[in-house]
Chains A and B, each alone.
Chain A
Amino acid sequence: MILSFQEKGNSALTLSNYGWLFSHFRFQESLINTISITVLALLFELVLALSIALVLAGAGRKRIIQALILIPLGIPTIVVASNMRYLFDTNGFFNQILSRLNLISVPIDWLGGGVLTLFSIVLSDMWKVTPLMMLILLAGLERIPKELVEAARIDGSSSWQELRFIILPLMKPFITMALIIRGIDTFRIFELPLALAGQAFPVLSSFAFFEFRNFNNPNTAAASSTVLFIMIFAAILLYIKLTGSGKETTV
């Protein structure tokens, strides 16, 4: 952090690095991209993870299915990114399937930047890390007393009402934990966007990396890392404040 307030070769404190960062087009892009990935990824992952957890909660042979679902977690992120390139490349499987179905005549550039790349990265991230969120939410679901749900059913509540008035409120601490853990991870996403889209879709981590590694500027790298840290911290505080620190809710 101290480095971020100093210029290269000068120990005097200054805000010039931050001024430079926020006026630099690449940093602005990285910031927007990072926030976009985080918001979308968390939303989609939460919905998907909760859906899978709800299905698994009532399923038999749970352990075997859980083990299978957890497999993507064990795959290194860079391997996932390399494989996803085979899907999303202009000559990749997606374009080939779409072409054979006559849905496209010209390959779609999934990884050239923009909204398509955003969704490609979010989908790739979802594939790998949704199981972790699912695991946390499943643990939460298993803690919900069955009697509550049964009582609600006897009183004539629908599945949606059960979910909305019983399950979700009781799941609050687990949803909070899942979102915070995944949120921290998603904010600092690095390998996936770099390997998939390179500088066509910069994020804060890759921006800091290039500042340090390629442009030999540890001070601006430190400044962008500090910005990232502040964002993560602020997001966690805001979330906890809005949701009431994730304490269990009485139903």
Chain B
Amino acid sequence: MNRIIFLLISLIFLTSCSAPKESTLKVSMSLSDEEWRVVKEEIIPKFEHRNHCRIETLQIEAGDLPQILKSQSMAGKMEIDVFAQDNMQLSILVEEDLVENLSGYRGMIPKETEQSLISAGEFNRKLYFLPFRPNVQIVYYNEDAFKKYALNVPRNWDELIRVAAVFKQREGVGRILFKAWGNGPTVTQLYEFIVSAGGDPFTFNDPGCLRTFDFLKKLWPYVSPDSTKAKWNTSNDYIARESVYLMQNWPFGINVIIEDYKKTNIKTYHGFAGPKGEAHVIGGDVLGIPKGSKNKALALKFIEYLQSREAQKILLEKLSWPSIRTDVYSTVSGWRAPYFRAVKEAMRYGVFRKNVTYWADFERYMNEAFTRIVIKGEPLKQVLDHYAEEMKKVANKKK
């Protein structure tokens, strides 16, 4: 009996010794349920299998990540190995010295990557973040509605207001959607409009800003009443249910509108130009490694994998995420091809939002300016001058 027990214990001991210990890589992202499903089912397993590791995923919102990294860093217990972060919330990570300098790994970025996407991860000439998923808004429109009234899609502001007026006159209600829900959705649109009018959004009252708000005041009576409830997810519903005929949104809408709702009459194009040209904000996420990460080598391998053609193709096809790689778009075929042509075109006019630590204040002021001037009809110059002063105070305080 004693011999049997001894043999059993030896067997257990030998088994546990011989089995290779799997490392665990902790990855943080901020994704929707559907996005996580694709990442967990189609992206992660391949990497785990090839690298004999386990990936633990963490859902951490972009706004929460800096504080979480700071707390873990101060505690000397970093629990995150690699993160994907909104490209608008990076400067605080650099200023608080929370992320690794990845300048030495510039060579691992695929040569097919758009150069502008690499520059977006640089601060003070050092590379802290690596490209992952860029994002750019395109215009979705109801082809049948435009054909019905013999209208062409608007290519500039004048045509936009003309088309909006025609729809309002013929149907009694606005059919052009402007995302006026507030916060990020509204500010991103405003940023694009101001840049395409030649303005600097952070000044609030330069000629480009004045021109933009003046235009939006004129456009407002012709926009859809759903605009006050329109944000990134609800906009897709509005165009799919045909309460609006034209709207701007991120490419994830392609899957929702065309694949889920089966609205094949909804087409896309890159967008319309302002008085000084066309501009589309490049959003999306970049990848970084926090200081104190316990698995830096594996984290770098994971980043390399996420940037690979294989992974980028899956993300593009399953989630309609624009790719960092120019060679992936050529693989898009079938019904997706024309929609991604619009995405690729829109990226040509891409602009990055200024990465500042006072973005929250800027967002608030821009939202308030929009509500007061465009929705409530307050005097344009007076309101913009007020926020210009407020913005200067905030910018000076943060210097």
Contact = CB atoms under 8 A, between A and B. Distances in A.
A200 B172 contact: no
A112 interface: yes
Given A25-B372, A91-B242, A216-B360, A210 B183 contact: yes
Contacts of B285: none
Interface in B343-384: 360-361, 363-364, 367-368, 371-372
Given A199-B181, A215-B363, A215-B364, A90 B242 contact: no
A109 interface: yes
Interface stretch (B28-36, B80-88, B224-232): B224-232
A210 B186 CA distance: 14
A102 interface: no
Contact of B228 (A26, A91, A198, A214): A198
Interface string A204-220: 00000010011111000
A199 B182 contact: yes
A45 interface: no
Interface residues of A, number: 22
A200 B173 CA distance: 18
Contact of A216 (B63, B183, B241, B371): B63
B73 interface: no
A107 interface: yes
A111 interface: yes
A33 to B, nearest CB: 14
A90 B172 contact: no
Contacts of A213: 63
A200 B183 CA distance: 12
Contact of A200 (B228, B238, B360, B367): B228
Contacts of A215: 360-361, 363-364
Contacts of B229: 111-112, 197-198, 200
B363 A90 contact: no
Contacts of B181: 198-199
A159 interface: no
B24 interface: no
A106 B169 CA distance: 11
B174 to A, nearest CB: 10
Contact of A90 (B231, B243, B371): B243
B95 to A, nearest CB: 14
A214 B359 CA distance: 10
B360 to A, nearest CB: 4
A54 B372 CA distance: 48
Interface in A172-228: 197-200, 210, 213-217
Contacts of A105: 172
Interface residues on B, range: 20 to 34
A125 interface: no
A106 B173 contact: yes
B301 to A, nearest CB: 34
A111 B183 CA distance: 18
Nearest to A107: B173
Interface in A100-118: 105-107, 109, 111-113
Determine chain B's interface SS by DSSP, over half rule: helix
B385 to A, nearest CB: 17
A214 B173 contact: no
A210 B183 CA distance: 9
A26 B368 CA distance: 9
Contacts of A198: 181-182, 228-229, 231
Nearest to B63: A213
A217 B365 CA distance: 14
A199 B364 CA distance: 13
Interface string A6-39: 0000000000000000000110000000000000
Contacts of B182: 198-199, 210
A111 B224 CA distance: 12
Instruction: Report which residue of B225, B238, B241, B360 has the largest number of chain A beta carbons within 10 angstroms of its beta carbon.
Output: B225
Contact of A214 (B183, B224, B225): B183
Contacts of B372: 25
A106 B172 contact: yes
B228 A89 contact: no
A89 B363 contact: no
Contacts of A210: 182-183
A107 B226 CA distance: 11
Contacts of B226: 89-90
B172 A197 contact: no
A7 to B, nearest CB: 12
B63 A112 contact: no
A200 B181 CA distance: 7
Given A107-B225, A111-B229, A112-B225, A91 B241 contact: yes
A113 B183 contact: no
Nearest to A104: B172
Given A109-B225, A215-B363, A216-B360, A91 B368 contact: no
Interface in B213-266: 224-226, 228-229, 231, 238, 241-243
Nearest to B186: A199
A109 B226 CA distance: 8
Contacts of A113: 228
A214 B224 CA distance: 26
Nearest to B231: A198
Contacts of A112: 225, 228-229
17 contacts: A25-B372, A26-B371, A89-B241, A91-B238, A106-B173, A107-B243, A111-B228, A111-B229, A112-B225, A197-B228, A198-B181, A198-B182, A199-B181, A199-B371, A213-B63, A214-B183, A215-B363
Interface of B: 63, 172-173, 181-183, 224-226, 228-229, 231, 238, 241-243, 360-361, 363-364, 367-368, 371-372
